[in-house]
Structure 1
Amino acid sequence: ESSTFDGNKARRLGGAIHINGSSIVIKDTTFFENTSTDGWGGAIMLYEGNLEVSGSSTFEGNSAVDGGAVFTGGSEGSNVIKETTFVGNTATERGGAIRLYRSTLEVSGSTFKKNVAVENNGGAIRAYGGWDNLGFDLVLSDNDFVE
């Protein structure tokens, strides 16, 4: 809570935070210019866990191959992002701000501005349920997507 992650770098997974099989709650936190140079989640990479981000958190200028700011995948748990700003995050492939893979995510009251997926798709968010699409959901409500 009330933390700043600035300029962290990882080669493969989660420039600032990598979580596998666990849960994290993030409030009033800033992620600025974190990088996953060859992998997923410029700021956060979550696999098979639960993620909650809220309280005016900000993701700015983060970068990765997939999920410029956040990658969440393989999770049947609860992933919730609310009242969060995503600005200027970049994925070289998919999901400029968020890359969702075989996972459920609810995003509300958040702002997405100038996020980019350079070579593929999902400038703000890229959601993919896998070839069998086993009921994973992306729920969006009361968000602003600009520029």
Structure 2
Amino acid sequence: MDLNIIPETKRAFKPFNAASVRFPIVARSTDVPGPGSYECDVKQNRQVHMLHSFGGRTKLIPAIKTKCMPLNRDKCVICLKQPIGDYYQYRNEILCGDCFNFNWQWQEKFKRTYLQAFQKVRDCSHVHEHSGTSARIQLVDNRIMKKLQRKEAYLSLYWP
């Protein structure tokens, strides 16, 4: 090999070969949606609703009100069945979850503006037992209940 002759090299289009492909192009996975599919107008810095007193402790406002009564005689206005789990109430009118969702979508018996006044309510049977009297037998520890209420209040900010 003759060291006096400079070998011919391919000149780079840009100095230091800056335009070369350094990272191999890999097809992006379709598991994660692209940046255009996310909602941009989502409310930022959501905070759990609390009652504040001047200098005192803060108190959590529960996302779903708990209705405490010895015997739950609430019946849905439309299907006339006793609601199971969470249900909706406005004044004396009660709707089970299925009837509320159906009327929200199709507006058959109630208009949507009227349905907005309904609030989610839950029977107290998951917390304590009355056995037909006004006395209560605690089923769940208060610490666990507060933890569940905090979790529910936080998640209700994203899934009302």
TM-score (norm 1): 0.20
Relative contact order higher in (CA < 8 Å, ≥ 6 apart): 2
TM-score (norm 2): 0.19
Q: Give the structure with the higher percent strand.
A: 1
